[in-house]
Chains A and B, each alone.
Chain A
Amino acid sequence: METTTTSLLDVRADFPIMSREIDGRPLVYLDSAATSQKPTPVIEAMDRYYRHSNANVHRGVYRLAQEATDLFEGARERVAAFTGGQTETTIFTRNATEAINLVAYAWGREHVGPGDVVLITQLEHHSNIVPWQLLCQETGAELRYLDVADDGTLSLDQLDEELAGGRVKLAAFAHVSNVLGTINPVAEMAARVRAAGATSLVDGSQGVPQLPVDVGAIDADFYAWTGHKALGPTGIGVLHGRREVLEAMRPFLGGGDMIRTVDFQESTWNDLPWKFEAGTSMIAEGVGLGAAVDYLSGLGMERVRAHEHQLTAYALERLADIETLRVIGPPDADGRGGVISFELGGVHPHDVAELLDRDNVCIRAGHHCAMPLMRRLGVPATARASFGPYNTRADVDALVDSLGRARDLFGES
């Protein structure tokens, strides 16, 4: 039961966009699962980099180039430390999607063949489905799914059954569902996958922004996430990999920076992590992500989780008062992250989102890049509210009030 009346975190003022008004009214941003807003230190770090320190990294002998390199590689060290990873096995990609594709191409094409199984789950985002479909279509492997129960959870027993079949080469699963909010027991899942001799990948896109994450403790072979959902800029993602696996892999993209030597017919590869970072890096974005993890570390991820847990519990409590509203996914806040999908009886999710926008309440409506999950749930689409560190109980109140108005409008006539 909620006893406190104020939010744990009070950081709205750190986010410049939160002072934005539309039609003279404040913004109620409840779409952080799609992308987060950015705090001033992130915006300033990127601005300062371009105004003050911009040069290409890893090459120049002049001091400015060394400064840019130090900023970029310093950010990598802090990003790795933030998630409990090692600097050399923390690879920068364009986003989580590219990180997963990197594994599907550079690892998958070497290790997956006809008759093998790639195992994923029904609650995955398209970015953790389509790369495996492509891999299976090319190699003749079979793509199999773990079911999602009605309460939004996966079954470890079913995982064991699939692994016992002996054909699973790789298992890939989300840390936190972007639709249901389900927090999956990824450390336990990764351990069972390894015990069965298979390789594991965790899609941490929704995990890193809202939970304390220690990729060393989770101990999956790969852990992918994206910067822009974790208060950082767009255009930068992260792949953490197990060193032995990364060292044995062929490169993903070829080009500058990822090589040690280039001869007319063949090349040798750079050390980790640069072997997987072809071309000029997203330097400003890396610097921005470094500032984002500094900011989150300053808040403390335990507090971020507690804050969003409190908001989610409060929202579930208040949404239960709307009699025509049905929440989809885990019934309480303990088993879910700060995301709530719901249906409002008689009102299509797109109409819900459009009507809430009248009150500057920004939510997502649609399939949330999880069409197989929509089919499993038997709904064409859902409405989804999701939280970030900057949200407050007042935002939840605005959501509930606005939903009430939407219900009333459609309830009339």
Chain B
Amino acid sequence: MDDLYRDYILEHYKRPRNFGELLPHDLEAHDHNPLCGDEMGVHIRVEDGKIAELRFHGQGCAISQAAASIASEEYVGMPLDELPALDGDWLIELLGIPISATRRKCALLNLKVMRGAVTGDASWP
């Protein structure tokens, strides 16, 4: 079995959770990784200060897409004010695979757009 392309990574890549568009939505952001052409957007519906529902969309490598799918299940139900505390290490640990320096941007793209949508700051990380 491949260390990086584990079965659950490929499974999330092929059948991503919470993918598509969400209309109407309360928050949104879009970003891309120009180096590899990965792009990702997110629509978020907020209820009582929490992420009630979200949908990612875009295209990219297995790592960026699977990471978004896996993380999306954590984001749902999360209070908005907890999101800015999430960092890259949280996400890498959640993925459970060895991420090289060159693929780190792929893995973190979903958190980058989430933080952009919630805080309005697109500069992270």
Contact = CB atoms under 8 A, between A and B. Distances in A.
A157 interface: no
B53 interface: no
Contact of A381 (B7, B36, B62): B36
Contact of A366 (B10, B37, B39, B59): B37
Contacts of B35: 366-367
A355 interface: yes
B99 to A, nearest CB: 11
Contacts of B62: 347-348, 351, 410
A380 B14 CA distance: 18
Contact of B10 (A349, A374, A381, A413): A413
A380 B7 contact: no
B63 interface: yes
Contacts of B106: 350
A412 B5 CA distance: 11
B10 A354 contact: no
Contact of A348 (B4, B11, B61): B61
Nearest to A355: B5
A359 B7 CA distance: 20
A50 to B, nearest CB: 32
Given A350-B106, A381-B36, A413 B11 contact: yes
B113 to A, nearest CB: 16
Pick the most buried of B37, B60, B63: most chain A CB atoms within 10 A of its CB: B37
Contacts of B103: 350, 354
B31 interface: no
A413 B7 contact: yes
Which size bracket describes the interface of B in this complex? 20 to 34
Contacts of B4: 354
A343 to B, nearest CB: 12
A348 B2 contact: no
Contacts of A410: 5, 10, 62
Contact of B14 (A351, A381, A413): A413
A284 interface: no
A299 interface: no
A347 B36 CA distance: 13
A365 interface: yes
Given A348-B60, A351-B63, A409-B5, A380 B10 contact: no
Interface in A214-233: none
Contacts of A354: 4, 103
B31 to A, nearest CB: 14
Interface residues of A, number: 21
Nearest to A352: B61
Contacts of A409: 2, 5, 10
B36 A350 contact: yes
A346 B62 CA distance: 10
Interface in A379-403: 379-381
B97 to A, nearest CB: 12
B11 A365 contact: no
Nearest to B37: A380
Contacts of A351: 5, 61-63
A351 B5 CA distance: 9
Given A351-B62, A380-B59, A412 B37 contact: no
B36 A366 contact: yes
A350 B66 CA distance: 14
Contacts of A367: 34-37
A368 to B, nearest CB: 11
Contacts of B14: 346, 413
A365 B35 CA distance: 9
Contacts of B38: 350, 380
Given A350-B106, A354-B103, A412-B10, A374 B5 contact: no
A358 B4 CA distance: 11
Interface string A326-365: 0000000000000000000011111100110010000001
13 contacts: A347-B62, A349-B61, A350-B36, A351-B5, A355-B5, A358-B2, A366-B36, A366-B37, A374-B37, A379-B37, A380-B37, A409-B5, A413-B10
Interface of B: 2, 4-5, 7, 10-11, 14, 34-39, 59-63, 103, 106
Given A346-B14, A350-B103, A413-B14, 4 more contacts: A350-B38, A366-B35, A366-B37, A367-B37
Report the 9 A-B pairs with minimum CB-CB distance, sorted nearest first: A380-B37, A348-B61, A381-B37, A350-B61, A351-B62, A350-B36, A351-B61, A413-B10, A366-B36
